Amino acid sequence: MPKAELSGGAETALMEMLRSSESKRIEWIVVFQVLGGMVDRVRSLGIAALVVHGGRVRQFHRLLWSVMRIVQIASQNCVDLILSWEGKAHLYGGPAAILSGIPAVWFSHASVSHWNPVDRLTMRIPAAGICACSRSVASSFDIMVPRRPVRIVNPGVDIIRFNAQDLPERAVVRQMFGIEASWPLLVSVGRLVKAKGFDLLISAMPSVLKHFPEARCLILGGEDVGEPGYRSMLERQIDDHGLSSRVLLMGLQADIPRWLHLADVVVQASRLESFGLSIVEAMAMGKPVVAAAASGPREIIDSGVNGILVPVNDVKRIGSAIVCLLKDRALAERIGEAAIRRARRFSSSCFAEDLVRALAEFG
């Protein structure tokens, strides 16, 4: 595992899978390439977690040392298979599997590209198979060489944790957070990167406020080291639109179910989304979701039934969909109820069961 902080969908998916009872059919040893909060989280589950500092890919001596250390761990623990969580991890796990004489499998949470030299290099490393988080990610491997067997394994969320029935009344929670019961509230969750489209949501807020002047929007998510200037850009955009009291950047939050419980509508305006765990989380809470019809959300939402899909980059349609749900509470409630049923297909138990089955097939 190349990362060790819960900063995105790939890290969240791993933790949800490890927590699931279905995953107990496998004895796991999780090797992180950096030290971070996930190390202790994994250990708290009674699962071995080690740190082997991988360094950067271009640091060949660090890469070689890391590979040999993983080989040693595999030998000492009679490991049967190495699962690389994301492409970067396969640059280390793949060679270690070859040297250990065991299969390697790669879980891909993002699409690959023939034009990306790192993706081309990763594909050259043998793998018994690839688990793709969605159909769109799986299809990206069609033009890659050499061809590898690919299985779709949708990530999942903890349906028990994301359950509004187990939380206090929404009015009580709103009071705890200092949010008026009468305020229409939008919530959006994700890393602060351009691909998540938070700037599009902010641009849509003036049209929402024309119909609902008291509406608020809470954006939950931490900064990404790859785009350190994006939060500052969002802050300037909020100021330029005069929205400082209407759009709030809340930073990274731990208790996401409680924040989602506050919402009237959850919005995910991503320009690019390989799957969309935050969408499933909101649906499990019974929230009507407005999502951009990027690749992943199209596989989760049946538009008009259990959510609303809008064209990617379409600020006007984002705004109109939000207004529609805020005006038509019967529609919002009907979509929310259907969303709960749909979210059960993407539970962490289903995820772990599908992954274990794929590993057994590849191994």
Q: Is the pLDDT of residue 56 over 80?
A: no
Q: What is the pLDDT of residue 272?
A: 94
Q: What is the pLDDT of residue 177?
A: 84
Residue with tokens 């969303």: 339
Q: Is the pLDDT of residue 55 over 80?
A: no
Task: Specify burial of residue 65 (Cβ count, 10 A radius: 0-12, 13-18, 19+).
Answer: middle
How does the average pLDDT of the chain come out, rounded? 95
Quickly state the pLDDT bin for 60 (edges 50, 70, 90): confident
Q: CA dist 323 to 93, 184, 189, 216, 335, Å? A: 48, 10, 19, 13, 15
Q: Contact, 328 vs 308, CB < 8 A?
A: no
Tell me the pairing of strands 308-310 and 289-292: parallel
Taking alpha carbons only, the member of 290, 329, 326 closest to residue 311 is 290
Taking alpha carbons only, the member of 274, 312, 260 closest to residue 291 is 312
Average pLDDT over residues 218-236: 94
Average pLDDT over residues 74-79: 98
Q: Give the count of beta carbons closer than 10 Å to the beta carbon of residue 254.
A: 7
Task: Specify burial of residue 78 (Cβ count, 10 A radius: 0-12, 13-18, 19+).
Answer: exposed
Average pLDDT over residues 78-85: 98
Helix, coil or strand: residue 105: strand
Total-model pTM: 0.93
In tens, the pLDDT along 83-133 reads: 999 999 999 999 999 999 999 999 999 999 999 999 999 999 999 999 999
Q: What is the pLDDT of residue 225?
A: 85
Rg, the chain, Cα only: 21
Q: What is the pLDDT of residue 107?
A: 98
In tens, the pLDDT along 335-353 reads: 999 999 999 999 999 999 9
Quickly state the pLDDT bin for 201 (edges 50, 70, 90): very high
Q: Is the pLDDT of residue 57 over 90?
A: no
Q: What is the pLDDT of residue 89?
A: 95
Q: Is the pLDDT of residue 226 over 90?
A: no
% helix / strand / coil in the chain, to the nearest 5? 50, 15, 35
Percent of the chain with pLDDT over 70: 100
Q: Is the pLDDT of residue 359 over 80?
A: yes
Q: What is the pLDDT of residue 254?
A: 86
Quickly state the pLDDT bin for 81 (edges 50, 70, 90): very high
Q: What are the structural domains of the chain?
A: 9-156+348-362 (3.40.50.2000), 164-346 (3.40.50.2000)
Top pLDDT among 61 and 108 is at 108
Quickly state the pLDDT bin for 29 (edges 50, 70, 90): very high
Quickly state the pLDDT bin for 236 (edges 50, 70, 90): very high
Quickly state the pLDDT bin for 176 (edges 50, 70, 90): confident
Taking alpha carbons only, the member of 266, 269, 279 closest to residue 325 is 266
Q: Is the pLDDT of residue 49 over 90?
A: yes
